[in-house]
Amino acid sequence: MKRNRRVKILATLGPSSSDQAMIEKLFKAGADVFRINMSHTDHALLKTLVERIRAVEAAVERPIGILADLQGPKLRVGTFENKSIVLKEGATFTLDGNDAPGTQERVRLPHPEILSALEPGHRLLLDDGKIKLIVTECDETSATTRVEIGGKLSDRKGVSVPDTTIPVGALTEKDRKDLDAALNANVDWVALSFIQRPEDLAEARKVTRGRAGILAKIEKPQAVERIDEIIELSDALMVARGDLGVEMPLEKVPGIQKHITRAARRAGKPVVVATQMLESMITSPVPTRAEVSDVANAVFEGADAIMLSAESAAGDFPLEAVETMNRVAEEVERDPNYANIMHAQRTEPEATGADTISAAARQIAETLHLAAIVCYTSSGATGLRAARERPTTPIIALSPVVATARRLALVWGTHCVVSEDARDENEMVDRACRLAFKDGFARPGQRIIITAGVPFGTPGATNMLRIAFVGSDGLGGI
């Protein structure tokens, strides 16, 4: 099944989209990767969802990526005597470790690590930023605050601390158990929530040991400040605009999105733009014009993937949401400005043989108007390098490793095929031509360009280019 676009679509599964028939419909409508939100998924359901996705994968004969999104440290206030209170601007309000139900003057914050890290002047944002408190006094057991923006506060509402670096890692005890379950289920990607520092990624990498790619969700100011270090240690990134828009001024989020997207592209790391992309389609079969523009801007920016959250997980129109996102992406990529923007943002290849080969393949393919760039990739690194070039020519990534093909399903422009490695150069050419022909990328008489490594089957050894004609039988010739 050949997509008519380069950007990938990541769809979240949930009550509206968990049965196998709907998963298959979503894939055929355009979803390339499925996200399982571990905030709402137990281990039994995780296993069931993975099995259903793999059954769809076998039915459609295409590799499908699976992303397990870990919950991360969720900070919440305790409960109140009367279920809720109303905070007025200028009032004094205390957060402490006391187990007693909350009152108009105080409430429990069951996170001693936060209380010990707060300092006077730090902000506390409650209930998705609707309530804003400023710390005036604090010690290791309590924090006295001034209410700057008031409102109703009810039981267990969320707390954000944008000015405070939390002195614990991003992996909670729940996350560690969920991570083990996800790895045992053979998911392809694991997303880490609320990371603040590069060390948070190192902790997860010790557990994964290469069994899944690590995707860093950027949703805290501390992560934005150290983005270059985080990019270096991650396998992919997500601009998680929901929590980012709570912890930072909303007007800063679009600029941060562009900065992260471009930085990830320069590094050759996949980047996903997420949250509220087609939010109105939770309850409406059509999006707003502003939402269409939001999706289009992410595609124009060259993001590897765009994501649906509640729209596909819990909305009334999950299939229509995927179809809409697919149509918008296809239309953007047909726009003459799209190719110009991709060209203008292209960066110089790194000083390695493999990067130079990928850059040369893109330039040759575009100059000679070749039908496809076919790259043999065992680890996936060659596929990533080919995508980093953002060529106008389609990319076919051939891998003998099914896990690699599934992981590359998240990567811009890669049409992934699971195929045995070539034994020699003739077989390399014949297999590349046959698959380009079979999957509808090349017609007899057209030419393709092939990148591979010699000796064959050696990961990371991309060192050769070959131009080949697709023969009338679909096989290759010089």
Domain boundaries, the chain: 8-73+171-337, 84-160, 353-477
What's the maximum distance between 2 C-alpha atoms anywhere in the chain? Answer: 81
Cα 17 to Cα 13: distance, rounded to the nearest angstrom: 5
Judge whether 76 counts as a catalytic residue. Answer: yes
Q: What is the pLDDT of residue 476?
A: 63
Cα 238 to Cα 305: distance, rounded to the nearest angstrom: 9
Under CATH, domain 84-160 is a member of which superfamily?
PK beta-barrel domain-like (2.40.33.10)
Whether residue 452 is predicted with pLDDT greater than 60 in this model: the reply is: yes
For the segment 391-398, the average pLDDT, to the nearest whole number, is: 97
Phi, psi of 194 (to 5 degrees): 60, 35
Considering the candidates 217, 220, 269, 362, report the single residue annotated as catalytic. Answer: 217
For the segment 74-102, the average pLDDT, to the nearest whole number, is: 95
Token pair of 256, please?
Answer: 């941060």
> 121: pLDDT confidence band, cut at 50, 70 and 90?
very high
> 407: pLDDT confidence band, cut at 50, 70 and 90?
very high
> 478: pLDDT confidence band, cut at 50, 70 and 90?
low
Judge whether 8 counts as a catalytic residue. Answer: no
In CATH terms, the fold of domain 8-73+171-337 is TIM Barrel (3.20.20)
Q: What is the pLDDT of residue 363?
A: 96
Considering the candidates 275, 377, 414, 462, report the single residue annotated as catalytic. Answer: 275
- Per-residue pLDDT reduced to its tens digit, 258-278: 999 999 999 999 999 999 999
Residue 373: count other Cβ atoms within 10 Å of its Cβ. 28
Judge whether 275 counts as a catalytic residue. Answer: yes
Token pair of 133, please?
Answer: 């408190």
Whether residue 150 is predicted with pLDDT greater than 70 in this model: the reply is: yes
The better pLDDT of the pair 471, 334 is held by 334
Q: Report the share of the chain in percent with pLDDT over 90.
A: 88
> 257: pLDDT confidence band, cut at 50, 70 and 90?
very high
Q: What pairing do the DSSP bridges indicate for beta strands 236-240 and 271-274?
A: parallel
Judge whether 385 counts as a catalytic residue. Answer: no
Q: What is the pLDDT of residue 350?
A: 83
Confidence (pTM): 0.93
Q: Report the share of the chain in percent with pLDDT over 70.
A: 98
Whether residue 417 is predicted with pLDDT greater than 60 in this model: the reply is: yes
Q: What is the pLDDT of residue 178?
A: 98
Whether residue 222 is predicted with pLDDT greater than 90 in this model: the reply is: yes
Please determine, looking at this structure, whether the domain spanning 353-477 carries the CATH number 3.40.1380.20. Answer: yes
Q: What is the mean pLDDT of the chain?
A: 94
Q: What is the pLDDT of residue 450?
A: 96
- Per-residue pLDDT reduced to its tens digit, 302-327: 999 999 999 999 999 999 999 999 99
> 462: pLDDT confidence band, cut at 50, 70 and 90?
confident
Considering the candidates 5, 6, 35, 407, report the single residue annotated as catalytic. Answer: 35
For the segment 463-475, the average pLDDT, to the nearest whole number, is: 85
Considering the candidates 25, 74, 76, 258, report the single residue annotated as catalytic. Answer: 76
> 78: pLDDT confidence band, cut at 50, 70 and 90?
very high
For the segment 404-429, the average pLDDT, to the nearest whole number, is: 94
3-state SS record for the chain: CCCCCCCEEEEEECCCCCCHHHHHHHHHHCCCEEEEECCCCCHHHHHHHHHHHHHHHHHHCCCCEEEEECCCCCCECCCECCCEEEECCCCEEEEECCCCCECCCEEECCCHHHHHHCCCCCEEEECCCCEEEEEEEECCCEEEEEEEECEEEECCCEEECCCCCCCCCCCCHHHHHHHHHHHHCCCCEEEECCCCCHHHHHHHHHHHCCCCEEEEEECCHHHHHCHHHHHHHCCEEEEEHHHHHHHCCHHHHHHHHHHHHHHHHHHCCCEEEECCCCHHHHCCCCCCHHHHHHHHHHHHCCCCEEEECHHHHCCCCHHHHHHHHHHHHHHHHHCHHHHHHHHHCCCCCCCCHHHHHHHHHHHHHHHCCCCEEEEECCCCHHHHHHHHCCCCCCEEEEECCHHHHHHHHHCCCEEEEECCCCCCHHHHHHHHHHHHHHCCCCCCCCEEEEEEECCCCCCCCEEEEEEEEECCCCCEEC
